[in-house]
Amino acid sequence: MADQPTYYLTTPIYYVNDAPHIGHAYTTLACDVLARFKRLDGYNVKFLTGTDEHGQKVEKSAEAAGKDPQEFTDAVSQNFRDLADFMNFSHDDFIRTTEPRHIAACQAMWKRLEEAGDIYLGSYSGWYAVRDEAFYGEDELTKTADGKRIAPSGAEVEWVEEPSYFFKLSAWGDKLLAFYDAHPDFILPESRRNEVTSFVKGGLNDLSVSRTTFKWGVPVPGDDAHIMYVWLDALTNYITATGFPDEQSADYKTFWPADLHMVGKDILRFHAVYWPAFLMAADLPLPKRIFAHGWWTNEGQKISKSLGNVIDPIELANTYGLDQIRYFMLREVPFGNDGDFSHSSMINRMNGELANDLGNLSQRVLSMIAKNCDGKVPEPGELSDDDHALLAQTHGMLDKVRHHMDRQEFHHAIESIWIVVRAANGYVDHQAPWKLRKEDPARMLTVLYVLAETIRHLAILLQPVMPQTIGQMLDQLGVPEDARTFAALGEGGALKPGAALPKPEGVFPRFVEEDSANG
């Protein structure tokens, strides 16, 4: 389709120094839900994720594991791909920064910056945190009792002195500020935008963009003694995946600039300051949005390997169900804020909202249809005011959900759906179709039809969040695979009275405590 709208979204590429955990799964999940939503809404979507495999931190981790860096990154990167499959992520491409396509793109990017006159040779002396792969000014650091210097992220810094190429970041401050001004939705949420703006207003220093004291990275073109700073290398992945430096490639033309770079708040500065400055200097178009989400803690504590409280998404999904945790992560915390994981809130959401609100609604209605309508979609009669009222809410959902999804307000998107779930439950209680069975069977058929149509809408809109379980729900409603897009929400896709339905089965079990012992 020539005029099909397009949408390109990316996750951060994760460092391969460590096993993937819930934080990585969270960012990619948010992108997965959005990618699925856009596809169902008719977009040609490109959804990119991957692994960041160069730099001192990865080199050190490989060394500690007694492995050659390539062998090490091959193994850890595979863990990230396995997690993505396990989580049912629908990425279209998985990029690794050690791939030849990416090394070529990085070197092309370097040359453009150099030709633009934005790179010069100097020497760096200052503080560097390997954990963050970031340079810090003395004024940003705090000192511990034993004299160590600590970056705001909590990472320890070390003194570095070496020849280095610099990027003239200082020359881009005003242009960045003008860009933020002209594009008020470039950085979301708004509080993060303010943070970035005041950082840039404070004045930018030139950025050291090459290192000479280790080898694990992309060589600087024309000067093999230097390797490119890992963040310049890593950020370039977003454009590599579109075929850059071939600006004539179909993917580049279709998808660059990206619609959304989704990141955690820890790496906002790299995405909202450095990356746009590199792109401006290289005379390339800038992405449309950087969204920085919040940070998860575990039962109130920072998640860290040293505290031994890292949450393994696989374990969690084995306990509660994959779609249950997908739902929980996007429902529990207003997207953008920090959030706390606790088993009790997980169980509350799972039992209260999935098993009770949604699961019971669908199970009640479908079993009444199975029992009282011969297992066929009932034939509605004339609609009452109550029927019209519920259907109006049902039909109004898509616009609301779309509005929130376009601003990455996943929690509001889900709430817009849940308003209708609750309204439908209220309608069941009020209409009491089980009583109508004897008193007014024709009215019962109408009520069950209105409910089945409402459930069809709810399910179609919930597919991005819980693709597997909701797929089963749509199977039970007899909705064909090709009638599950948002275009099919309209009358053309409505349930056909008389169509036979399969035997209903509950898809959202309650969590009972013994399950944890078994699972």
Q: Which residues bind ligand ME8 (CB under 6 A)?
A: 12-15, 23-24, 26-27, 52, 234-235, 237, 263-264, 266-267, 295-296, 303
Query: Shortest Cβ contact with ligand ME8: which residue?
Result: 23
Report the residue count for the chain: 519
- What is the smallest separation between the CB atom of 171 and ligand ME8, expressed in angstroms? 23
- What is the smallest separation between the CB atom of 137 and ligand ME8, expressed in angstroms? 20
Nearer to ligand ME8 by Cβ, of 239 and 448: the residue is 239
> Three-state DSSP class for 128?
strand
- What is the smallest separation between the CB atom of 259 and ligand ME8, expressed in angstroms? 16
Nearer to ligand ME8 by Cβ, of 133 and 206: the residue is 133
- What is the smallest separation between the CB atom of 267 and ligand ME8, expressed in angstroms? 5
Nearer to ligand ME8 by Cβ, of 85 and 266: the residue is 266
Q: DSSP string of 5-53?
A: -EEEEEEEEEETTS---HHHHHHHHHHHHHHHHHHHTT-EEEEEEEEE-
Q: DSSP string of 236-292?
A: THHHHTTTTT-TTSHHHHHHPSPSEEEEEGGGHHIIIIIHHHHHHHTT-PPPS-EEE
Nearer to ligand ME8 by Cβ, of 16 and 417: the residue is 16
- What is the smallest separation between the CB atom of 455 and ligand ME8, expressed in angstroms? 33
Please tell me the distance from the alpha carbon of residue 442 to that of residue 266, in angstroms, as a whole number.
59
Output helix, strand, coil percentages for the chain, rounded to the nearest 5. 50, 15, 30
Nearer to ligand ME8 by Cβ, of 18 and 515: the residue is 18
- What is the smallest separation between the CB atom of 454 and ligand ME8, expressed in angstroms? 34
- What is the smallest separation between the CB atom of 243 and ligand ME8, expressed in angstroms? 18
Nearer to ligand ME8 by Cβ, of 130 and 373: the residue is 130
Q: Do residues 178 and 200 lie in contact, with contact meaning Cβ atoms separated by under 8 Å?
A: no
Nearer to ligand ME8 by Cβ, of 78 and 468: the residue is 78
Burial class (CB in 10 A: 0-12, 13-18, 19+), 226: buried
Nearer to ligand ME8 by Cβ, of 52 and 409: the residue is 52
Distances in Å between the Cα of 150 and the Cα atoms of 130, 144, 145, 254 are: 12, 7, 11, 43
Q: Do residues 298 and 311 lie in contact, with contact meaning Cβ atoms separated by under 8 Å?
A: yes
Q: CB-based contacts of 408: which residues, under 8 Å, 6+ apart?
A: 30, 34, 188, 260, 262, 291, 293, 335, 336
- What is the smallest separation between the CB atom of 29 and ligand ME8, expressed in angstroms? 10
Burial string for 193-211 (b: 16+ CB within 10 Å, else e) reads bebbbebbeeebebbbbbb
